[in-house]
């Protein structure tokens, strides 16, 4: 009764580092991958180095895998070439290697920046036109579309998580609406890896946030019961916000500073 082989790309990154210990308990066959070895690699953890832009290296990592949690890539706005290589080419290589290796489940780390130009005053679900706020956001929309293709055409069960911001607590007022704790995010990973009826889903990666902008009822239907609430950290978030000051464009939109960067339109 071999443990299921679940591959975590981007294992040395921020979310990988925060979720690895929880995932290791749930999936004893967990395989970590990144370009660089995680500095805190534990005895008993399996690590395979791969550059996502190299199809052969990605194929070697996904060989024999049952599922992949794809966190790897460029995690903020970047130059077109950075985004193209890490998030467009890299994401394609992961889905192609998954198809080739017969991997049954893919979790794709999408982002709130796929819909960042929705105004903060609008509550949104997942059944709507995307409004990316950056080249980075466009790359996340690309990953969601690729996931839809590989689900319909190749029968891979794909879960796209439009992740807000992961951390021990919300960093500012915007994050009171989009924050998710590591353990709540792991709950969403589990639904994507384990739910029996899943084909293609988009969920929001947010905890139980009173100030939230997103209707996450589909995730709740499939069993999501977030345990953490941003509101418990309001005082901290407001104190941090006071240090930042106003952003006349970013403060209007869900994506915040990703919207105001390089902005030349009228509001
Ligand atoms: C993201 O998608 C980034 O990966 C992360 O670094 C944060 O900037 C986050 O969004 C956010 O919107 O707070």
How far is residue 184's CA from residue 170's CA, in Å, rounded to a whole number? 14
pLDDT of residue 40: 92
The residue contributing the CA closest to ligand 1 atom 13 is: 165
Round to the nearest angstrom and report the end-to-end CA distance of the chain: 59
Q: Residues 254, 260: contact at Cβ < 8 Å?
A: no
Active-site entry in 27, 136, 204, 224: 136
Using the mean position of ligand 1's atoms as its centre, give its distance from the Cα of residue 162 in Å.
Answer: 10
pLDDT of residue 264: 98
Tens of pLDDT, residues 27-48: 999 999 999 999 999 988 999 9
Sign of the CA dihedral 256, 261, 265, 267? positive
Q: What is the DSSP string of 68-81?
A: EEE--S--S---HH
For residue 259, pLDDT over 80 is answered with yes
How far is residue 195's CA from residue 69's CA, in Å, rounded to a whole number? 15
For residue 2, pLDDT over 90 is answered with no
Q: Which residues contact 163 (CB under 8 A, 6 or more apart)?
A: 15, 109, 110, 111, 112, 180, 185, 205
pLDDT of residue 202: 98
Indicate the helix (H) or strand (E) that contains 210: none
- Best of 165, 168, 179 for a ligand 1 pocket test (most atoms within 8 Å of beta carbon): 165
- Best of 72, 113, 167 for a ligand 1 pocket test (most atoms within 8 Å of beta carbon): 113
How far is residue 30's CA from residue 137's CA, in Å, rounded to a whole number? 28
For residue 1, pLDDT over 70 is answered with no
Q: 54 falls in which pLDDT band (50, 70, 90)?
A: very high
Q: Residues 181, 172: contact at Cβ < 8 Å?
A: no
Q: Residues 203, 218: contact at Cβ < 8 Å?
A: yes
Q: 120 falls in which pLDDT band (50, 70, 90)?
A: very high
Indicate the helix (H) or strand (E) that contains 108: strand 105-111
Q: Residues 49, 12: contact at Cβ < 8 Å?
A: no
Using the mean position of ligand 1's atoms as its centre, give its distance from the Cα of residue 126 in Å.
Answer: 18
Concerning whether 118 is annotated as a catalytic residue, the answer is no
The residue contributing the CA closest to ligand 1 atom 4 is: 75
From the CB of residue 216, how many other CB atoms can be counted at a distance below 10 Å? 22
Token pair of 38, please? 């995680």
Torsions phi, psi for 152 (to 5 deg): -70, -45
pLDDT of residue 224: 99
The residue contributing the CA closest to ligand 1 atom 2 is: 111
Q: Average of pLDDT values for 78-106? A: 98
Using the mean position of ligand 1's atoms as its centre, give its distance from the Cα of residue 243 in Å.
Answer: 19
Here the ipTM equals 0.98
Q: Average of pLDDT values for 142-165? A: 99
Using the mean position of ligand 1's atoms as its centre, give its distance from the Cα of residue 195 in Å.
Answer: 27
Domain 6-260 in CATH: superfamily?
Answer: NAD(P)-binding Rossmann-like Domain (3.40.50.720)
Domain residue ranges in the chain: 6-260
Tens of pLDDT, residues 171-182: 999 999 999 999
Mean per-residue pLDDT of the chain:
98
Pocket of ligand 1 (CB under 6 A): 75-76, 111-113, 165
pLDDT of residue 127: 96
Nearest-atom index, ligand 1, CA of 163: 2
Q: 260 falls in which pLDDT band (50, 70, 90)?
A: very high
Using the mean position of ligand 1's atoms as its centre, give its distance from the Cα of residue 165 in Å.
Answer: 5
Q: For helices 90-101 and 55-62, what crossing angle results, to 10°? A: 40
Q: 25 falls in which pLDDT band (50, 70, 90)?
A: very high
Using the mean position of ligand 1's atoms as its centre, give its distance from the Cα of residue 255 in Å.
Answer: 9
- Best of 14, 109, 112, 116 for a ligand 1 pocket test (most atoms within 8 Å of beta carbon): 112
């Amino acid at each position: 009764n071999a443990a299921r082989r679940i591959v975590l790309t981007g294992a040395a990154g921020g979310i990988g580092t925060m979720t690895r210990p929880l995932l290791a308990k749930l999936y004893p066959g967990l395989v970590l991958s990144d370009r660089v070895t995680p500095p805190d690699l534990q005895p008993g953890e399996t690590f395979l180095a791969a550059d996502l832009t190299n199809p052969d290296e990605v194929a070697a990592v996904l060989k024999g895998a049952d599922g992949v949690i794809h966190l790897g890539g460029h995690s903020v706005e970047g130059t077109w070439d950075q985004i193209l290589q890490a998030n467009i080419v890299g994401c394609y290589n992961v889905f192609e290697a998954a198809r080739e290796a017969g991997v049954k489940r893919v979790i794709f780390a999408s982002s709130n920046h796929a819909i960042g130009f929705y105004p903060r005053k609008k509550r949104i679900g997942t059944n709507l036109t995307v409004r990316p706020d950056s080249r980075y956001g466009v790359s996340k929309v690309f990953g969601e579309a690729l996931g839809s293709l590989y689900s319909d055409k190749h029968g891979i069960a794909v879960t796209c998580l439009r992740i807000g911001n992961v951390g021990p607590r919300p960093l500012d007022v915007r994050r009171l609406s989009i924050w998710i704790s590591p353990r709540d995010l792991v709950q969403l990973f589990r639904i994507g890896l384990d739910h029996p009826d899943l084909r293609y889903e988009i969920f929001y990666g947010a905890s139980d946030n009173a100030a939230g902008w997103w209707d996450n009822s589909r995730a709740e239907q499939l069993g999501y019961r977030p345990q953490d609430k941003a509101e418990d950290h309001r005082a901290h978030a407001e104190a941090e916000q006071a240090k930042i000051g106003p952003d006349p464009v970013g403060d209007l939109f869900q994506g915040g500073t990703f919207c105001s960067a390089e902005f030349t339109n009228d509001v």
